[in-house]
């Protein structure tokens, strides 16, 4: 049967209103509304809808998709997001679930190894320390964040929305954690965003994310991220005194964070006075570090997606063929792995598919 939920998902991904879809498809708004409310459209109508949305016809006849509710997803800038941006992001989350379900049918992925730290919501720094202890990290800087997350069972994907109102988001589904990251930001800011989302995953697992709670939740996730990436003991043992802007720019590489994030952490730990902190922030802004990172670190790539795509490529399975199996447009799969999988190696003539360890 034609899936009304899948029609809505495709419309959301294209950021179209019901009226906009009707105009693009040459149909009446009433016809689109009926299709989205369970009325079975005729073949000609289905073809027009699929053509207007640029989705394969078969997509609309699959089982109902896994859907996400806004309160289940950690949107950092929910108040700034338009309804179209929110719906498109939620639909991308559903596609991400389907994509990883497909991967798990072919490969063994690490099981989730996160702990529920919701009781430490009011003490984010303690929560960060407890998770580091659980993962055996100690106080040392983390070499590769994405590799760490994936080894602990987090399903990492690229954020497909090209908008400043969607930085990153995360959610739990079927006991599996998912994280979507904006690959168009600097590597340092993406690193902080990922730790921020990790904070949501462990601190707000059971939270009903009502609008009144979002402000505190975002502050908690920021504090968690700062402590997780820049442990107090390592900061204080590495930096014996207050630093200038130039020194902060030089040493930030150790923790793979932005100069602004490190300055803020030093201020939070009492290593910079209010006056010194403000003067450093002003100087960093003047040197272009408010939105960019002129001296930056290399962007990390996904170990899991790299191995999966390389193994499939060796066996002649391309990204386009993955999209066909999922009945998705090619670009929907491509945006999920944008800048995450790295470059694929040359494909040998004969190779066997290997499972991800």
Does residue 168 carry a pLDDT above 90?
no
Return the higher-pLDDT residue of 18 and 346: 18
Q: Which of 22, 17, 35, 4 is nearest to 82 (CA)?
A: 17
Spatial neighbors of 237 by CB under 8 A, at least 6 apart, are: none
DSSP-derived pairing of the beta strands 168-173 and 176-181: antiparallel
In tens, the pLDDT along 247-284 reads 999 999 999 999 999 999 999 999 999 999 999 999 99
What is the pLDDT at residue 191? 95
Mean pLDDT to the nearest integer, 20-26? 98
Separation between Cα atoms, residue 242 and residue 273, nearest integer Å: 9
Confidence of residue 78 (pLDDT cuts 50, 70, 90): low
**Contact (Cβ atoms closer than 8 angstroms) between residue 169 and residue 197:** yes
Q: Tell me the average pLDDT across 161-182.
A: 84
Alpha helices in the chain (DSSP H): 4-13, 18-25, 29-36, 43-53, 83-106, 124-134, 145-151, 187-203, 211-229, 232-238, 245-251, 259-268, 274-286, 303-314, 319-326, 330-336
For residue 173, what is the enclosing H or E element?
Answer: strand 168-173
Contact between 75 and 86 under an 8 Å Cβ cutoff? The reply is yes
pLDDT above 70 (res 213):
no
Q: Note the pLDDT of residue 97.
A: 95
Instruction: Specify the pLDDT at position 107.
Output: 95
Distance CA(245)–CA(120), nearest Å, equals: 33
Percent of the chain with pLDDT over 70: 90
Instruction: Report the largest interatomic distance among the alpha carbons of the chain, rounded to a whole angstrom.
Output: 73
Distances from the Cα of 211 to the Cαs of 64, 70, 77, 115, in angstroms?
Answer: 28, 10, 11, 25
């Amino acid at each position: 049967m034609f899936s009304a939920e899948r029609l809505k998902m495709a419309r959301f991904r294209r950021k179209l209103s019901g009226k906009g879809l009707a105009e693009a498809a040459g149909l009446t708004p009433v016809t689109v509304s009926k299709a989205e409310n369970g009325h079975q459209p005729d073949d000609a109508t289905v073809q027009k809808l699929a053509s207007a949305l640029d989705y394969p016809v078969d997509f609309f006849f699959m089982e109902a998709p896994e859907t996400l509710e806004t309160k289940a997803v950690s949107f950092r800038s929910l108040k700034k997001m338009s309804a179209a941006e929110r719906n498109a992001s939620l639909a991308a989350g559903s596609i991400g679930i389907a994509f990883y379900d497909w991967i798990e049918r072919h490969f063994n992925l690490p099981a989730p190894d996160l702990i529920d730290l919701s009781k430490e919501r009011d003490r984010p720094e303690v929560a960060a320390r407890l998770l580091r202890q659980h993962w055996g990290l100690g106080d040392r800087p983390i070499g590769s964040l994405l590799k760490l997350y994936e080894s602990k069972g987090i399903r990492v994907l690229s954020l497909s929305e090209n908008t400043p109102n969607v930085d990153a988001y995360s959610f739990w589904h079927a006991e599996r954690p998912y994280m979507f990251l904006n690959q168009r930001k600097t590597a340092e800011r993406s690193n902080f965003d990922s730790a921020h989302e990790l904070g949501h995953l462990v601190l707000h697992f059971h939270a009903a994310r009502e609008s009144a709670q979002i402000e505190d939740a975002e502050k908690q996730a920021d504090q968690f991220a700062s402590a997780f990436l820049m442990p107090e003991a390592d900061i204080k043992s590495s930096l014996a005194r207050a630093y200038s802007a130039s020194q902060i720019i030089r040493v930030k590489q150790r923790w793979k964070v932005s100069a602004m994030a490190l300055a803020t952490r030093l201020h939070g730990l009492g290593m910079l006075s209010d006056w010194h902190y403000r003067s450093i922030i002003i100087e960093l802004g003047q040197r272009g570090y408010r939105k960019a990172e002129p001296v930056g670190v290399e962007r990390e790539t996904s170990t899991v997606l790299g191995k999966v795509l390389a193994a499939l490529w060796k066996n002649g399975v391309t990204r386009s063929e993955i999209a066909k199996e999922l009945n998705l447009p090619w670009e929907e799969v491509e945006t999920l792995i944008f800048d995450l999988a790295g470059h694929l190696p040359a494909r040998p003539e004969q190779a066997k598919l290997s499972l991800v360890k």
